[in-house]
Amino acid sequence: MENKFIYLDNAATTKTAPEVVEAMLPYYTEYFGNPSSVYGFASKNKEEIAKQREVIASALGAKANEIYFTAGGSESDNWALKAAAEAYGPNGGHIITSKIEHHAILHTCEYLEKRGYKVTYLDVDENGRVDPADMEASIREDTFLISIMFANNEIGTIQPISEIGQIAKKHNILFHTDAVQAFAQIPIHVDECGIDMLSASGHKLNGPKGIGFLYIRKGVKIRSFVHGGSQERKRRAGTENVPGIIGLGTAVARAVSTMEERTAKECELRDYLISRISREIPYCRLNGDSVKRLPNNVNFSFQFVEGESLLIMLDMKGICASSGSACTSGSLDPSHVLLAIGLPHEIAHGSLRMTLGEDTTHEELDYVVDVLKEIVQNLRNMSPLYEDFMKKEENV
């Protein structure tokens, strides 16, 4: 048997690009100085960090001193929400978010609820979109923060972010967006979208793991999350992750310069995969918005099939994908996102997410569809529910 390896889980993480690794290496081996030190040997690092901060800021239409390096998307999300609560709701108050956020947002909201904050979790429509009018209607006297993700990591749906941003601005409410999936896949301009805070992460854009940033608009009163030294303009202590920052900046520059071409190619491959699966595998359903969708996201539910079994069998064929419950491995609860778009439990359980990467090819997808067809049919042949269903079909 051939040794295939087809990686279709780029929403979970991506391969660090070779030129990113190459840019990082000297900062381990040669320029290892602490950027806070005064001697010239270390000051090169300080300058390099400043350069990367510029690169990232310009990718968002922001200023360099509005970018704060963190240890990734989860930390950025935690920081944005907890620090906003502290600064803008010292005596409690109300936060608006959605039911389909990443757990870094949802679990932070639950944490804040336990501390007396009130949270509205907005419903989404069957395609996973938040309705801006709905959101506006849920604003209360004491609402101090709106946090809505730019694009969803499971079903790829892109939210009407600039409409949400305009509404937040009109009501003078702070607006945070988790853009971990969207940044460098969709052009983002923080002013045009009315974004006050934005989270992003290196390892979702062919950069290193354990590094990300939080954009904080100038004038937003956010205090430090990690106390200690005066790094990151006293807002995030700790010796800078110099190689990580170099890697992140290099990855952002690279992802931004290739964005147009890369996402056009991904969209084409995505639509090819979607159309082949829809046409060739019966009793399936595409999850997420068919148009307002991340260029690399494909998410299907297959009736009469268990997502976990599907993943194991795909793995045996050398294909890495994800089911609807990627972040809750060990638990059998279907994904909160798939439930929020109205899927019944049994359909949500049969879900498969495939997220393409910059190296994904047509050939790979052809192989994936062929394998998937066979696996889905084999699993269905073992399903008593499918058997009952087919008997009924034959009798009509």
Ligand X SMILES: *Cc1c(COP(=O)(O)O)cnc(C)c1O
Residues that bind ligand X (CB under 6 A): 72-74, 77, 102, 104, 149, 153, 178, 180-181, 201, 203-204, 212
Cα dihedral value 297, 303, 306, 309, nearest 10: -70
Q: Closer to ligand X by CB, 284 or 351: give it.
A: 351
Q: Closer to ligand X by CB, 177 or 360: give it.
A: 177
Q: Closer to ligand X by CB, 259 or 326: give it.
A: 326
User: What tokens were used for 54?
Assistant: 């510029």
What phi and psi, each to the nearest 5 degrees, are found at residue 279? -80, -35
User: Number of helices (H) and strands (E), helices first, in the chain?
Assistant: 14, 13
**Residue 209 C-beta: closest distance to ligand X, Å:** 7
Which residues neighbour 259 within 8 Å (Cβ) at sequence distance 6 or greater?
184, 185, 187
Pairwise CA distance, residues 174 & 89, whole Å: 11
**Residue 225 C-beta: closest distance to ligand X, Å:** 14
Q: Closer to ligand X by CB, 201 or 360: give it.
A: 201
- Name the amino acid, one letter, at 302: F
Which residues neighbour 290 within 8 Å (Cβ) at sequence distance 6 or greater?
127, 274
Q: Are 297 and 288 in contact (CB under 8 A)?
A: yes
Which residue matches tokens 């082949």? Answer: 276
Pairwise CA distance, residues 145 & 285, whole Å: 35
Question: In 3D, which of 253, 191, 256 has the Cα closest to residue 218?
Answer: 191
327 is catalytic: yes
Q: Which residue is nearest to ligand X (CB)?
A: 73
Query: What is the three-class DSSP state of 98?
Result: strand
Q: Which of 109, 267, 284, 327 is flagged as catalytic?
A: 327
**Residue 307 C-beta: closest distance to ligand X, Å:** 18
Question: Distance from CA of residue 298 to its chain's centroid?
Answer: 14
Q: Closer to ligand X by CB, 212 or 350: give it.
A: 212
**Residue 235 C-beta: closest distance to ligand X, Å:** 18
Pairwise CA distance, residues 378 & 365, whole Å: 20
**Residue 72 C-beta: closest distance to ligand X, Å:** 3
Q: How far is CA 78 from CA 83, 178, 193, in A?
A: 8, 11, 21
**Residue 291 C-beta: closest distance to ligand X, Å:** 20
Question: In 3D, which of 358, 324, 77, 100 has the Cα closest to residue 205?
Answer: 358
Q: Closer to ligand X by CB, 129 or 380: give it.
A: 129
Catalytic residues: 327
